A and B are shown apart, each in its own frame.
Chain A
Amino acid sequence: RKEVEQDPGPFNVPEGATVAFNCTYSNSASQSFFWYRQDCRKEPKLLMSVYSSGNEDGRFTAQLNRASQYISLLIRDSKLSDSATYLCVVAGGGADGLTFGKGTHLIIQP
């Protein structure tokens, strides 16, 4: 079983739509959870951290379910610029190496 699993997509959605991504992780000892965004041939950039209480940053909402070892990302009112690969990332702690999912490819269509 892979450590971090994501649906690779691609997800093709029209501009303005709401889209949700899911991710599961296998290591129950994981402590930190993040969503990163990676554009083609670029380095990954932190989108947001994920907390058990859920957190929101503008059009983006992330949630964590520790019992089910499940992480989600919701994007509302999607923009063309949201087109990218979204990486689900878990870590054991602050100074631990990150474990990346393969990413979910999102394409926003005009």
Chain B
Amino acid sequence: GAVVSQHPSWVICKSGTSVKIECRSLDFQATTMFWYRQFPKQSLMLMATSNEGSKATYEQGVEKDKFLINHASLTLSTLTVTSAHPEDSSFYICSAYTGASNQPQHFGDGTRLSIL
């Protein structure tokens, strides 16, 4: 089946650090990848839609200069949290669209980001 690898799975770093998260589709090409964020006891919230070779589309309220997304190939999208602060601490999950209507998206394992 379709596999999405997300790395790293856990990050703890100091305030002001920039953190890059990678999302890879291992056995399929994903023209579209999505980035979600989940705060404790909250639902997953779509942050942005990433299309290969074009600029990401950000949801309302998500700062594009804060959360840099790059989708340079059909198998890799990256999310960089720039100058992270404690309020950015969250669970970040990527997903990739396979193109099959009955299998909407495959999720990575998620990245737990803790900013001290």
Contact = CB atoms under 8 A, between A and B. Distances in A.
Interface of A: 4, 32, 34, 41-46, 49, 87, 91, 94-103
B45 A43 contact: no
Interface in B23-41: 31-32, 34, 36, 41
Contacts, number: 54
Q: How large is the interface on B (under 10, 10 to 19, 20 to 34, 35 or more residues)?
A: 20 to 34
B60 interface: no
Interface in B70-116: 91, 93, 95, 97, 99, 101-105, 107-110, 112
21 contacts: A34-B104, A41-B91, A42-B109, A44-B44, A44-B107, A45-B107, A46-B103, A46-B104, A49-B102, A87-B44, A94-B104, A95-B32, A95-B97, A98-B34, A98-B46, A98-B105, A100-B36, A100-B44, A100-B45, A102-B43, A103-B43
Dominant secondary structure of chain B at its interface with chain A: loop
B102 A43 contact: no
Interface string B30-67: 01101010000111111001000000000100000000
